[in-house]
Amino acid sequence: MKELEGGERVAQGDQASGLRSMASLEKPDPVQVVAVSSGKGGVGKTNIVANLAVAGALHGRQVLVLDADLALGNLDILLGLAPVYNLGDVLLGTRRLEEVIIEGPAGIRILPATSGVQDLTALTHEQQLRLQDGFLDIQSPPDLLLIDCAAGISSNVLYFSVVAHEILVVLSPEPMSLTDVYALVKVLSTRYQQKHFRIVVNMAKTAREAKHVFRKLTKVTDRYLTVSLDFAGWVPLDDYLPMAVCQQRAVVDLFPKAPSSRAMFELSGQLARWREEQPIRGGLLLFGPSVLWNQAKEGT
């Protein structure tokens, strides 16, 4: 087990190698798990997750979204949904995870966060296990699990990043975003052995600006850290996006031809391609449910 801040642990060591050997290294995992984080708040994580989810569903994928901003999540509000239950109920043991899932646009499924009443900013190890057990409950597993992380570098953010196949980090042209992404990448690489990150630049005005911001980041990471950063793409600063937010709709759904929507569809295509590359990355998923879903699918 790997210790996280505050005593939380992430499945590692024997358990992880056991899981790894159970899952096939040769073929992509049926469930692709992508954690979206950013360090700094307000850079567009939730919008990117919501739109990647809807875009993926429109491309025929079975998408489940976990609102891992457990205390202050707002994915449900962004999509105009009013959940009756939430992950807090699962963590309290009063609801099964499957009962908490709600359906969103284009058939995406959502696990809503709490409404802020419970303090879930640092899941205990027992709560992490309860959540993982809950995933086993799901009758029809998705092929894409998107995790909308909270801002910052809390133990929850680190936990959800470590258990995912891919860490998609949202960077914006603001200088504070750069320093916060650096801090996130630093802690994940130096303390949790995460060496590969996908970077999406949001709210850039041009492709040139997006590439420039990305290069600024890699200049610092190349100098001080042993990590590889891939430019996953960029989403333009686009008035259509806040317009869609005000109507509580995903921009890809409401304005599919908007510049930000085109970028989200493109990024969604990238995600599907990463799935094929997963074995190359080598960092096989530690998220119990996915491995177990795989086993269930394979009838083992």
Ligand X SMILES: Nc1ncnc2c1ncn2[C@@H]1O[C@H](COP(=O)(O)OP(=O)(O)OP(=O)(O)O)[C@@H](O)[C@H]1O
User: Residue 257, exposed/middle/buried by CB under 10 A (0-12, 13-18, 19+)?
Assistant: exposed
Minimum distance from CB of 83 to ligand X (Å)? 17
Q: Which of 16, 19, 23, 43 binds ligand X (CB under 6 A)?
A: 43
Q: Which stretch binds Mg ion (CB under 5 A): 37-45, 97-105, 108-116, 281-289?
A: 37-45
Instruction: Based on the shown chain and the rule CB under 6 A, indicate whether residue 203 belongs to the binding site for ligand X.
Output: yes
Q: Which does 260 bind (CB under 5 to 8 A by kind): Mg ion, ligand X, none?
A: ligand X
Q: Which of 6, 18, 107, 242 binds ligand X (CB under 6 A)?
A: 242
Instruction: Based on the shown chain and the rule CB under 6 A, indicate whether residue 45 belongs to the binding site for ligand X.
Output: yes
Q: Which is nearer to ligand X, 70 or 245 (CB)?
A: 245
Looking only at the bridges linking them, the beta strands covering 109-111 and 102-103 are antiparallel
How far apart CA 105 and CA 83 sit, in angstroms, is 14
Q: Which is nearer to ligand X, 43 or 291 (CB)?
A: 43
Minimum distance from CB of 148 to Mg ion (Å)? 6
- Residues in contact with 280: Cβ distance below 8 Å, sequence separation at least 6, in sequence order: none
Which amino acid is it at 43? V
Q: Which of 51, 161, 221, 260 binds ligand X (CB under 6 A)?
A: 260
Question: Taking a C-beta distance cutoff of 8 angstroms, is the pair 189, 225 a contact?
Answer: yes
For the chain, counts of helices (H) and of strands (E):
13, 10
Q: Which of 10, 19, 167, 241 binds ligand X (CB under 6 A)?
A: 241
How far apart CA 263 and CA 265 sit, in angstroms, is 5
Question: Taking a C-beta distance cutoff of 8 angstroms, is the pair 79, 105 a contact?
Answer: yes
In what helix (H) or strand (E) does residue 2 lie, and over which residues does it extend?
A: strand 2-3
Minimum distance from CB of 100 to ligand X (Å)? 20
How far apart CA 65 and CA 298 sit, in angstroms, is 24
Q: Which is nearer to ligand X, 213 or 285 (CB)?
A: 213
The site that binds ligand X (CB under 6 A) totals a number of residues, namely: 19
Nearest CA among 34, 10, 15, 23 for reference residue 282: 23
Q: Which does 38 bind (CB under 5 to 8 A by kind): ligand X, Mg ion, none?
A: ligand X
- Residues in contact with 180: Cβ distance below 8 Å, sequence separation at least 6, in sequence order: 38, 39, 40
Residues numbered 40 to 79 that lie near Mg ion (CB under 5 A) are: 45-46
Q: Which is nearer to ligand X, 32 or 154 (CB)?
A: 154
Residues that bind Mg ion (CB under 5 A): 45-46
Residues that bind ligand X (CB under 6 A): 38, 41-47, 69, 151, 202-203, 235, 237-238, 241-242, 245, 260
